[in-house]
Chain A
């Protein structure tokens, strides 16, 4: 069974840092591009970041560029999101998702999410 399990969320003060992890299983992790997306409480989905299969190429939403870093360890089948200079508006459930194949690939599956709360 293909599975993605996020961890690392929690309460952090404004200006603080947090590293999220996403453990993958049930598929060849090193063959897939991966993404992070987030959802603020009661709000919609927002794409955050993307990384290619070997980690050599990344992209970010403007709202997190320069503050967040996506990375991966294919030996550990794990995706990461390092979040620095956190702000209150970064409060959200963060999901990792696998990018499908083909043209305009969809996200499938998604992890269960991990909640990040930025507050003093």
Chain B
């Protein structure tokens, strides 16, 4: 079965750029999306089709996908961005999530 691998944790200083990776076999040939989940809350869609942002998502969130790795980039990271982040892709007609990355802003 298809697997997506994320680093368990990433740390960033306020105002700096955070990058969260998601690795999978030939992931660049698929579309990746990203979700943000804060403690006690439901996931929220951040990025879909690799690079697109739903309305209401700040421009500091961006995505890319090439080769075996999709990347979520948060520019000018704010304290409110501290959360868990999950990548997701489709494998045939099933859905695969990455294991999640805890972003700490310190």
Contacts and interface: CB of A to CB of B under 8 A. Distances in A.
Contacts, number: 64
Interface residues of A, number: 24
A102 B33 CA distance: 13
B43 A47 contact: no
A65 B106 CA distance: 43
Interface in A88-115: 95, 100, 102-113
Interface string B86-106: 101110011111111000000
Nearest to B41: A112
Nearest to A44: B100
B43 A95 contact: yes
A59 interface: yes
Given A108-B54, A113-B42, A44 B99 contact: yes
Interface of B: 1, 30-31, 33, 35, 37, 42-45, 48-49, 54, 84, 86, 88-90, 93-100
